[in-house]
Amino acid sequence: MSSSKTSNIDSLGEFGLIERLTSDFNIKNRTSLLGVGDDCAIIELNDKESLLMTTDLLVEGVHFNLMYVPLKHLGYKAVAINVSDICAMNGRAEQITVSIAVSSKFPVEALEELYAGINLACDTFHVDLVGGDMSAAYAGLTISITAIGRVDNNIITRRSGANSKDIIMVTGSLGASYMGLQILERENEVFKANSNVQPELDGYDTLIQRQLKPEARHDMVELFGQLGVVPTSMIDVSDGLASDIFHLCAKSGLGCQLFEEKIPMDDKTKLTAIEFNISPITCALNGGEDYELLFTIKQEDFDKVAGNPNLTPIGYMTSKEDGRNLVDANNELIPLKAQGW
């Protein structure tokens, strides 16, 4: 009996698997300007604008735990993370489709809660629900959302546009979502051990909200326009700062140098990380699900963004040969590791 060698999915990881499965696909239509490999696909619309399309899949037990994730929050988050991908291309989301597979354990009222969250997100991000699909499932809940948007052709931002010496910047602060997850997981374990114990969530509201109800930074696209800045490359921080800067480096054929002391984290995130005996910088580098925007700009554009409270410079792009590094608090150069979400 002959045997063939098989590969374990874990050995490739999500992005390695996608690369392996899609590397033989060729673009056949001239309107397909960009396919697999960025936050969105880009589809030709006209001389002035292009369509953006993205999709995300959320699976119960893998991406969310209904022991502590309210269905209304889940619906909101499912929309927000797709809108975030549109923002990462410097575009504006306009429509979504929603497809779910759900088991009979869920009553109609539970699905109404899920869709109430979706509706709230549609209002917040100014998008329209225009279709989808629904299927029975043997177990659990799976949600797939596709977002459609548009972007002016002269400001489309891909992952691949950075140049050496471009300044690396990030919106907002990092690490809060990861610490929110740690709190929820801790209290869930306590509850499973003793259901009579009330969860200790007081004082952690902002961290928990960053995990359960993240906000897509659609406001930043408007801000870029007001500042007169077009990022040279961009991605949303979904897998952790280290993983996502790796994507920009790989697509742009460059290295990078980040400065630990520059990476924005709020005090509550730092204090909670220390409480959990976790290095705060680990939360920012490897936590994920912050859904802030990580982007690069030309050096000559720095004066346009300098001092803006929404934007923080955290490093610069280097040659590929220089590698991907972090300058730590002791001014030592440490090779970055992308553990991912």
Residue 181 pLDDT:
96
Residue 341 pLDDT:
46
Residue 18 pLDDT:
67
Residue 223 has pLDDT above 60, yes or no: yes
Closest CA to 167 of 293, 299, 328: 299
| pLDDT average, residue stretch 101-121 | 97
User: What pLDDT band is residue 77 in, cutting at 50, 70 and 90?
Assistant: very high
- For residue range 89-106, what is the model confidence (pLDDT) as tens digits? 999 999 999 999 999 999
- For residue range 254-266, what is the model confidence (pLDDT) as tens digits? 999 999 999 999 9
Closest CA to 268 of 179, 171, 187, 181: 179
- How do 92-102 and 324-327 pair as beta strands? unpaired
Distance between CA atoms of 180 and 200, rounded to whole angstroms?
12
| pLDDT average, residue stretch 94-121 | 97
Residue 225 pLDDT:
96
Distance between CA atoms of 106 and 11, rounded to whole angstroms?
35
Is this prediction's pTM over 0.95?
Answer: no
% of the chain beyond a pLDDT of 70: 94
| Domain architecture of the chain: domains with CATH | 10-155 (3.30.1330.10), 167-335 (3.90.650.10)
CA distances from 218 to 30, 43, 94, 176 (A): 29, 20, 11, 19
Closest CA to 40 of 228, 221, 226, 166: 221
- For residue range 44-56, what is the model confidence (pLDDT) as tens digits? 999 999 999 999 9
